[in-house]
Structure 1
C-alpha cells in the first residue's frame, strides 16, 4: 500500500491513487512499486488557489520535481505587459516542472497560471537521486522524463519557426477541442479569452488572427460567430494542422 505524501496545507485527501498518478508520470518506463513508495514518502503536497502560481521557486520547500495532482494549469512565457502567454496546458499526472530546480538560477522554466485550485506533488531531487543510485531501471525512467521535456520544447520551437499562422491556429484549436473533450461532426469552442491573448500564444498579431479566421470561414472549415467557433469540416482542419512548413 502506498502511503500518502506529507501535506504542507491541512485538509482532507481527495480520492486519488497517488501511486498510479506517479506511475503514469514516468510511463512508458515501468517503475517498481518499492521505488514509487519511497518517492511518495519523501514528497510533499502543496496547494495553490486559482490564479498565478504562488510557489516562488521549484526549490521550495526543497529542490523538487513538480507533478500536478489535481486541477489545470496553463504554462508559457511572460509578455512585455506582464501577462502569461499560455502555450500549453497540463492536467493531473503531468509534470509541471522537472528542470527548474536543476538549473543554475533555480527558477521556473515557464510561468504558470492555475485555471482552478490545484494540488501539486513536490518530489525532492534528493529522493530521485537516491532512487537513481539504487535502481538502474529508475535511472533510465528519470532520464526519459527529461528527454521527453527536451523533445517537447524542441517541437514547440520548430512549430513556431516553421509553420504559418493558419497551421499554428489549426493545431492550437485541435488542442483546445481535445482538452474540452469536444468531438463529433461539428465540434464547438467558445473562446474564453480575447483574440489578442490568443494571437500572443500563436506569436502573431490580432489582425493576422482575424484574417486567419476569415480565411477558414471562407474555406468552409469554420463557422465564426463572435467568440463561438464551430468546426464545419474537422477533416480539413486536421489536414491543415498536419501541413508541412511553407
Structure 2
C-alpha cells in the first residue's frame, strides 16, 4: 500500500517551475484539455461563456513541477489563486527542516488555495506535490479586474469559495463526531470518482502512503491497517497493492453516516 510518491519524506523547498507560460485561448495542456470543460470542473456548471474562458486562459499561468515541490507556502504572501490542474498534492504543514505533515489531499483538477490572495495575507496551509503536477496560477489583481468585467464569473467564484467552506466544515464535523471506521469510509467515498464497473464496484487508487492517509484521518497507521482488514472481512472492499476496490458503495455510505 505504500507508494513511492509521498509527502512524508519530501523536502520542502521553494517552488521550482520547470515550465511557465501563458495559456492560449484554446485548451489547457493535456490531460487538462478542453478549455471550457476544465474551468467548469473547477468553477462548477454550467459552462462559462467562450469570452470568459478565453479571458481566463489569457491570464492563467501554467507551471509543471516535480513530485516533492512546495506549491504553496505559508511563509510567503499569497498574490495568486492556485489550482492543481493535473496530479496529486497534499495540504498541511511544512517545517523548516523539510518534513511535511499532511492534513488532506487534493487530486487535479481542484483548488489548492482559492482564498488567501483575496485576504492579502499568507496561506493557512502549505501544499506539496505528491506526484509530478501541473499547476495553474491566477494573479489576484488580474482576476479582480476580470470579475468586475464579468459579474457571472464573480458569482461563480463566490459559490466556489462557499463549497470549500462547506467541505472544510463537513471534514471538521467528521473528525469530531465520527469514529475511525466512519471517517475512513467517508474518505474512501470521496475518492470514488470513477465509473462503476459492470459488477457495481469502484476502484480507488491509493496515491499516498499509509502513514499520510492515517495522518489525514487522525489515526495511527496501525489503526488504518486494522480498518482495511475489517472492511475487507465485511465484504465492503477488496485491497490489492496500491488499489482498493469498493465492492458495496451503499454499505460504505451507511457506515460513513451519509
Q: Does TM, scored on the shorter chain, surpass 0.5?
A: yes
- CA offsets 1:39-78 (integer angstroms, 9 cap, x no match): 3222222221122335657978x82222233x21222323
1:45 maps to what in 2? Answer: 62
Query: In structure 2, which of residues 123, 135, 145 is the aligned counterpart of residue 120 of structure 1?
Result: 135
CA-based RMSD of the aligned residues comes to 3.6
- CA offsets 1:57-109 (integer angstroms, 9 cap, x no match): 7978x82222233x2122232388932325232213x22211122234323x3
Secondary structure, counterpart of 2:128 in structure 1: strand
2:14 maps to what in 1? Answer: none
Matched, 1:135 2:150: yes
Write the mapping of 1:75-86 to structure 2, written as runs, cut at 5 A: 75-78=90-93, 82-86=99-103
Output the CA distance in 1 between the equivalents of 2:156 and 2:35. Answer: 18
Matched, 1:8 2:25: no
Output the CA distance in 1 between the equivalents of 2:205 and 2:135. Answer: 29
Query: In structure 1, which of residues 186, 206, 217 is the aligned counterpart of residue 221 of structure 2?
Result: 206
- For this pair of structures, how many residues does the alignment match? 231
Secondary structure, counterpart of 1:14 in structure 2: coil
Unaligned stretches of 5+ residues in structure 1: 1-6
Bigger RCO of structures 1 and 2 (CA < 8 A, at least 6 apart): 2
Unaligned stretches of 5+ residues in structure 2: 1-18, 23-27
Query: In structure 2, which of residues 67, 79, 83 is the aligned counterpart of residue 67 of structure 1?
Result: 83
* TM-score normalised per structure 1: 0.74
* TM-score normalised per structure 2: 0.71
Note closer, same or farther for the CA distance 1:46–1:190 as it changes in structure 2 (3 Å cut): closer
Query: In structure 2, which of residues 84, 108, 117 is the aligned counterpart of residue 91 of structure 1?
Result: 108
Write the mapping of 1:114-193 to structure 2, written as runs, cut at 5 A: 114-176=129-191, 178-179=192-193, 183=197, 184-185=199-200
